[in-house]
A and B are shown apart, each in its own frame.
Chain A
């Protein structure tokens, strides 16, 4: 049984132009101790998927799903407090851009100690509990590779370097020993050397603690170094999902291929300074979504049928949604 199983997740937003489907039939499943990458450009709804998993969306937005199960229990029919209990103890989120998502007016020590729940402490007098909190906090920091914990804990978010605050956000998320870690763009804007450190850390946690990771990013290089399976989003629709190796060797959806081709690092045969292949245009805004397959206007293989939304088809463990996938010739 998968840890998290989402089928046909749809998120509708009320706008002056009527209800708009920001997410349209998203499928996603994460097994235990699996690293799944969620790939998509900005505006493709990656962060909305993350937010609807943890339930951090405004009430007036409509979330519907055929299935949204956490270990077999339906998340959508749960009461708020039950759901909060799950998001507090079993999943953790590392938000995009940790330097800004940390509270600027509190020291890092106050923030990390706030995330340690009382159930993790032995009963004791208040000073003993304070010592225990401090101990847990320092242990966590050591685990993510922050050595001088005293300096780090005493400082405010603006005083630490960006990679440290990223690691700190990770430490905060791991305090509750979660089963699933959702990392929203954890390597954004980092240098290669720091990026490698964070990725190694995540890989180690995945091995040693059997932590499942949902790795949300558009950095394909980081993803390919990390993930076992990958789900590609375009404009709020799941385009393709499957094993990382399979997807990379033989993408079936034109968008996946374009995405992979856009990273010159993957193509050793590419002569220097050759033109990179890319799709025309940019990702449409929510107000101007095309009907049917949303890639339609940009897709090199689009035909008349593409105004209808393609069904999800499957070859072994490889799912794709396209009328004219790349393994079939154009007719």
Chain B
């Protein structure tokens, strides 16, 4: 079976245009991985290790210098194809939703840009998607400020799901959330993943959640892939220095209460 997403030798080098010759900017060393349908992958690393950059490369905000991204074994030629298949959830939902638009028009925009649906079909699609993430069809007339934090997160998920993507990429989706809202969101994403067979890539600092929902982990350090593997292997037998430090720190936090 061909994996859902294959990334091979993806690399990036930030070009720093300076008047005095070339300045070496941030580099992402070549990395490769595969993601199967219905699988969750977590990306861990320190600040500035290139986690967000990797997410941006996957969704196509930044162009890689070399390497390729294959979806179902085929290269992504058209922009539109990529925009439909790989969708992103942003970190701060509060800022990433436009305050001047109703949720309906917010969700309609990707449909107008990427599909051929007429307005009635679009409306139906919006209502379906809102129901899918556990909200009411009436919510399409609401504005951002009328929603609670958990509902906003749901809208962000709805916006990512509305084009029936195959891969979801999320940059710290749980960081800014309160514990009870966080478990609601985690449950929602896991349920959607089970039902729709999505591939899910997320970035997180919260090792508890990483351990709970991810199948595989990538560890980045200063733009280099340090370690990758199954979740329980990495948590039990971390190899690289950085991962060991991270896991030990986490274990130290937990074990005091035992």
Contacts and interface: CB of A to CB of B under 8 A. Distances in A.
A264 interface: yes
A227 to B, nearest CB: 10
B256 A224 contact: yes
B183 A283 contact: no
B180 A278 contact: yes
A41 B178 contact: yes
B1 interface: no
Contacts of A258: 180
B208 A192 contact: no
Contacts of A221: 208, 253-254
Contacts of A279: 180
B18 interface: no
A303 interface: no
A195 B253 CA distance: 10
A162 B46 CA distance: 12
A222 interface: yes
A282 B146 CA distance: 13
Contacts of B183: 261-262, 276-278
Interface stretch (B24-32, B119-127, B184-192): B184-192
Interface in B161-218: 175, 178-184, 186-187, 190-191, 205, 207-209, 211-213
Interface string B126-167: 000000000000000000000011110000000000000000
B245 interface: yes
Interface in B204-258: 205, 207-209, 211-213, 231, 245-246, 249-250, 252-254, 256-257
Given A189-B175, A191-B205, A224-B257, A270 B149 contact: no
A282 B181 contact: yes
B251 to A, nearest CB: 10
Given A42-B178, A264-B208, A278-B184, A192 B47 contact: no
A274 to B, nearest CB: 8
- Shortest 5 CB-CB contacts between residues of A and residues of B: A265-B208, A278-B183, A41-B178, A276-B183, A264-B212
